[in-house]
Amino acid sequence: MTSTRADDVHPSPARMRIADLHPELRRAYRWFPRPQVRRGWQRRMAQAAFALIPPPKPTAGVRFERIDFDAPGTGARVFTPDDAAASGAPARAALIWIHGGGLVIGAAAADDRFCADLAERLGIVVVSVEYRLAPQHPFPVPLDDCVAAWEWVQDAASARGIDPARVAVGGESAGGGLAAALAQRLLADGGPQPAVQLLYCPMLDDRTAARRELDAVRHFAWTNRDNLVGWSSYLQMPPGADAVPDFAVPARRADLNGLPPAWIGVGDVDLFHDEDVAYAQALRDAGVECTVDVVPGAPHGFESIARGAGVTRAFHARARAWLGERLAASAER
C-alpha cells in the first residue's frame, strides 16, 4: 500500500512576484501597502483610516443619502438615479452591495465611487451595506446586518420606485462571500428572492485558510495568513473544521439548488481563485446559471486597487453588461 504525503496532494507553490502579474497591474501593486489585520491595534488603525473617507462627490443624475438601521454601526449608503421615484416612472431594479475587508476591516464608504457609477450607468438603485465586523461581531452578526438591508429594500421598494422582484445582491471579497451567503439564507427562509448574484473575487471557503502551504506564496493584497485571521475571527474557531454553522461558509453548503444566476469574477493569481472556480462549478452542477470571468495575471482586489488600468475597466464593463442584461431580462418575466 502506497502512502500519500500532504505535499503530494498540495505541492508547495512558489512565492509570488511582481513579474507574475498582468503588465497593466504591476505598478499599482508594486507600491500598494498590504492591509495589516493580524493584531487588534492594526485593525483599529485601518478602521480609523476608513472613517476619514469623505462623503462622495456629487454625481450628475445620482442622489446620495445615508440610512441608519436599528443596531448601532449598521445602515446603508443609498445611490438613487434622480428620476427613480418620479411620478409615473417605471419601477427600477436595485443592487444590494456589500463591501470587502476580510470580515475584519472595511467600510461601505470605500465603494462609493463604484456604487455611484453603477447607479448612473445602469439606472438602478444601489444600496451599500454598513455591517458590523468580526471579531467583535462574529457570525451570524455581519450576515444578519445584510439580511436587515435586504428587508429594508423590500419594505421601502414601493416608496422608492424599486421593483422588489428585481433586486440583486453582490459584493467584493468578504462582501462577495456575504452576498453568496445572503442568497443561500434568503432561499432557505422563503419569501422574495434575489434576482441575481454579482460576486467579485468572493471569499467563500474557510478551508483555504487551513492550507498552511499557501502561506509561503504571499499573495498580493490578501495573503493566506490574513485569510486565517479573517475566518478565525468570523467563525470563532479554527478554519477547516469538520462542521460549520449553516450559511457561515457559502462553499460548504451542500444544497445549492434554486439559487439565482451568478456572475463570479476573479484573477487567476488571486488567493481565492480556486475556491471561486470550484463554487461556480458546484452552482452549475446544481442547475444554477453561473458565468465565470477569470482575468489572467490579476491578484486580489485589482478591480479596486488598479481602477485606471485598461484590464480593470474592461472587467468592470463585462460585469456591468452581465448585470444589466440579467436585470432587464428579469423585468420581462
- Answer whether 126's CB lies under 8 Å from 162's CB: no
d(CA 146, CA 150): 6
| 316 part of a folded domain | yes
Amino acid at 85: A
Evaluate whether 228 touches 237 at the Cβ level (below 8 Å): no
- CATH code: domain of residue 256: 3.40.50.1820
Chain centroid, CA 227 distance in Å: 15
- Candidate list 128, 163, 300, 304, residue with the active-site label: 300
105, part of any domain: yes
Q: How many folded domains does the chain comprise?
A: 1
Residue 13 lies in a domain: no
Given the residues 99, 128, 145, 173, select the one marked as catalytic. 173
Set of cell numbers at residue 182: 445572503
Instruction: Give the sheet arrangement for strand 290-295, strand by strand.
Output: 62-68, 75-81, 125-130, 92-98, 162-172, 197-200, 262-267, 290-295
Give a yes or no: residue 4 inside a domain.
no
Within-domain flag for 324? yes
Domain that holds residue 226: 33-332
Q: What are the C-alpha distances in Å from 226 to residues 133, 157, 296?
A: 15, 38, 23
Nearest to 150 by CA among 133, 134, 131: 131
In a domain, 1, yes or no: no
Does residue 304 carry a catalytic annotation?
Answer: no
Residue 209 counted as domain residue: yes
For 306, counting Cβ atoms within 10 Å of its Cβ (0-12 exposed, 13-18 middle, 19+ buried), the class is: buried
232 carries an active-site annotation:
no
Q: Which of 270, 273, 304, 330 is catalytic?
A: 270
196 HSE (CA, 13 A, CB side)? 25
173 catalytic residue (yes or no): yes
Asked, for residue 284, whether it belongs to a domain, the answer is: yes
Q: What number of other Cβ atoms are within 10 A of residue 123's Cβ?
A: 16
pLDDT digits (tens), the chain, 333 positions: 333 333 444 555 789 999 999 999 999 999 888 888 989 999 999 999 999 999 888 788 999 999 999 999 999 999 999 875 554 567 899 999 999 999 999 999 999 999 999 999 999 999 999 999 999 999 999 999 999 999 999 999 999 999 999 999 999 999 999 999 999 999 999 999 999 999 999 999 999 999 999 999 999 999 999 999 999 999 999 999 999 999 999 999 999 999 999 999 999 999 999 999 999 999 999 999 999 999 999 999 999 999 999 999 999 999 999 999 999 987 766
